[in-house]
Structure 1
Amino acid sequence: MKERFISILNTKKKRNGITLFNTVLLLIGVISVLTACTNIKGSEFIKPGTIYSIGFEGEQVVVNDAGNSYSIDAEGNVSVLYRNGAVKANVPLKLDTTGGVLGMGQENTGYFISEDKTAIVYGFADGKSLPLHVLISNDKGQTWNDYPIPGAMGYETKFIGFTNKNDGWLVSGASQGVGSALNYVYQTSDGGKTWKEIGNPNDIYSEHLTGVGFSSSDIGFLGYRYYMDEGPVIYWTKDQGQTWERLAVSLPEKFDKYKKNPLSPIFNRKEGLFPISLIDQDTGVAGTIYLTSKDEGITWVYDEAYDKLLNPFFTGDHKKNNFDLK
């Protein structure tokens, strides 16, 4: 009995046990939180996607080749190729190869092709009965979901991309007379199932697009074909489309003689590359120069190390492009 009372009254021993128990619980909690954060962080990013833009002649050009591509057969059936052609998947989409169906040609369709997320925007949208459609695959083309965007506008140029598995954007445009076009910007936060329209810059600038890209849901860029000036004409938003302003671009004087089309920017988390295509009216396409960013596109600087120039006017050895999305 005496020993039992001593044991009951020995609170120091109990406190040691309780402290140990609480410490174990705390460690389990910390590990759980870190694991959850790691899982969330890991789900944010996706493997690099092949990104497309529009060249001087209205042709589709690749600005970032991630080893994935698409093909269209003579009947218009679309296939997607992954890992440099090692994996092929059929897409439940048939495009018009005759040029007779508005909004359904190859040049009217937008692609983003990553092993983790593939998205294709297609169709003629009148804002009423005819919506845009987005095809989504999250398993390298094994399965596809087709999501309409009621109320969407645009039928001509289309761009689409994802910054992670959930957050994506698309821009569709339509001509409205010579040298003018209206463009509409949409975003998704649920992997492409639903889309909402955000503000566009049509009231301050409405021309044909040559490239589009977003570094986040807030920061995005629209690149336009040169028209009244020699470019590059880029408008950007940092508040999810509430306001747009022209991006100030400083380039060396040696490029003044060229007309400049901004292509689609490429982002690897905070780092960015903005390709600008150069053309001379006498000699033709001169190549591509690049702006670089290290802060999600807030600031850009020209970096000659990335130059891919074809014109013999330019000489000198340039470094290999070392912007690695992989």
Structure 2
Amino acid sequence: MKNIVLSIATLIIVGLIAGLFFYQMPSKHAEVQEPNDQAAPATQPLYANETIDYSLQNDEVSITFDKGKNWLPIPIEKEVLFNGEYTGSKEELIENSYILTKKRVAFLYYENDTIKMLSSTDQGESWQKTVISEHYPPIRFRKIAFINKHFGYVIISGDRTMSQEMSSVFLTHDGGKSWNETNNTNVTRLVADGGFTNEQTGFLSFGILNPEHPDLHVTKDGGANWSKTEIRIPKKYNKIFVIAEAPFKDGNDLAMLINQGSNGDYLGGKVKGKFLSKDEGKTWEFDREVQLDE
């Protein structure tokens, strides 16, 4: 009799434990979330951490100045932003073809054989369309930048045939209202990069198809004259650092990164050479290796 009572008591305890265990287990059905009836916004930020951003969703171009709380439509068709020789992704704008700042928003594009700029200086309340150059052949490389309120530059290449193309530099001194073309470098290699460090000093880098040496040209008179720079590359890096990127200010000197090109394999292709100039870009000396993300 005693054994029967103990057995019944044991079964009751086991049942209580099992019941408590299953009671505490979350229901699988409870893990399934109900669908959100609130539709996702038509535009989403491309870079969620940026205050100023753009969206190309639904083939519409829009911009936000408050991390996506409010979006403003931009009066331009998405497709024209990719006109010309371009085979990259159309999910994001072409690098260097636009400016996004609180004081200036600008988009460089090609339409009907004309290079144009759409810009706003009042955070999208009004927009201005400006013609930079007419009767220009289909473009490939494109870059727009302003280094102060009044001075900006546009670098364009086009009419490509194999490894040759024409290139042009346009400057503005009135905030983008009017543009004037500089004299030509007379170099027909493919443009790799370029830029200005002040209103007089500018650079153009050439050679992107299997280059063996960097080819950088400089102007010190606002594009009236161009000359090839002297880049002193140590023997260790000969035919390794081959494509010059746009120089930039580094303290009292100018600095420039030279990359390995698309086929570079030195240290896995993950380093560039940093060079410095003490004579406004005429000559360049090796400084050190830098990582790609440095």
Query: Which bracket does the TM-score occupy, shorter chain normalised?
Result: 0.5 to 0.7
Which residue does the alignment assign to 1:137?
A: 120
Q: Which runs of 5+ in 2 are unaligned?
A: 1-49
Which residue is equivalent to 1:159? Answer: 143
Call closer, same or farther: CA 1:211–1:81 in 2, change over 3 Å.
farther
- 1:233 corresponds in structure 2 to 215
Contact 2:248-2:254 within 8 A present in 1 as well: yes
Q: 1:244 offset after TM fit, Å?
A: 1.3
- CA contact 2:207–2:215 (8 Å) conserved in 1: yes
1:117 aligns with: 104
**Offset of 1:288 from its aligned partner?**
2.4
Following superposition, the deviation at residue 249 of structure 1 comes to 0.8
CA distance in 2, matches of 1:124, 1:96: 10
SS at match of 1:159: strand
Counterpart in the other structure of 1:285: 269
Residues matched between the structures, number: 237
The 1:218–1:94 alpha-carbon spacing in structure 2 relative to 1, beyond 3 Å, is same
Partner secondary structure for residue 307 of structure 1: strand
Deviation at 1:280, TM superposition (A): 7.1
Residue 17 (structure 1) aligns with = none
Query: Percent same amino acid among aligned pairs?
Result: 23
Larger radius of gyration between Structure 1 and Structure 2? 2
Cα 1:277/1:150, change in 2 over 3 Å:
closer
Partner of 1:156, secondary structure, is strand
Could you tell me whether the CA contact under 8 Å between 2:241 and 2:273 is conserved in 1? no
Letter aligned with residue 211 of structure 1: D
Distance 1:279 1:188, change over 3 A: closer
Counterpart for residue 41 of structure 2: none
The letter of the residue matching 2:117 is: V
Q: How does 1:73-88 map to 2 (within 5 A)?
A: 73-80=56-63
Equivalent residue of 1:254, what SS? helix
The 2-side partners of 1:113 and 1:103 are apart by 23
Q: TM-score, normalised by structure 1?
A: 0.60
Q: Give the CA deviation at 1:281.
A: 3.5
1:304-323: CA deviation from partner (whole Å, max 9, x where unpaired):
1x61159xxxxxxxxxx6xx
Cα distance change of structure 1 residues 97 and 160 upon mapping to structure 2, 3 Å threshold: closer
| Deviation readout 1:26-64 (Å, 9 max, x if unpaired) | xxxxxxxxxxxxxxxxxxxxxxxxxxxxxxxxxxxxxxx
Q: Which amino acid aligns with 1:219?
A: T
CA distance in 1, matches of 2:273, 2:64: 28
Whole-angstrom CA distance in 1 between matches of 2:291 and 2:165: 30
Pair 240,70 (structure 1): closer, same or farther in 2 beyond 3 Å: same
Alignment of 1:238-257 (within 5 A): 238-257=220-239
- Higher RCO, Cα 8 Å, sep 6+: 1
Unpaired segments ≥5 residues, structure 1: 1-66, 311-320, 322-326
1:301 shift after superposition: 3.1
Q: Is contact 2:65-2:102 (8 Å) kept? A: yes
CA distance in 2, matches of 1:257, 1:187: 33
Q: 1:276 to 1:177 in 2, by over 3 A?
A: same
**Residue of structure 2 equivalent to 1:58:** none
Residue 294 of structure 1, CA deviation: 5.6
Q: Name the CA shift for 1:282/1:264 in 2 (closer, same or farther; >3 Å).
A: closer
Q: Match for residue 275 of structure 1? A: 257
Q: In the superposition, relative to structure 1, how do residues 123 and 226 fare at CA in structure 2: closer, same or farther (>3 Å)?
A: closer
Matches within 5 A, 1:56-67: none
Aligned pair in 2 of structure 1 residues 139, 226: CA closer, same or farther (>3 Å)? Answer: same
> 1:102 Cα deviation (Å)?
3.5
CA distance in 1 between partners of 2:203 and 2:209 (Å)? 18
Aligned pairs for 1:252-263 within 5 A = 252-258=234-240, 260-263=242-245
| Whole-angstrom distance in 1 between the partners of 2:172 and 2:290 | 34
Shift of 1:95: 2.3
| 8 Å contact kept, 2:211–2:242 | no
* 3-state SS of paired residue (2:134): coil
How much has 1:192 moved relative to structure 2?
A: 0.2
Residues 1:182 and 1:69: Cα distance change in structure 2 (over 3 Å): farther
CA–CA separation in structure 1 for the residues paired with 2:256 and 2:134: 31
For residues 228 and 298 of structure 1, do their structure 2 counterparts lie closer, same or farther at Cα, with a shift above 3 Å needed?
Answer: same
Structure 1 partner of 2:177: 193
3-state SS of 2:118 partner? strand
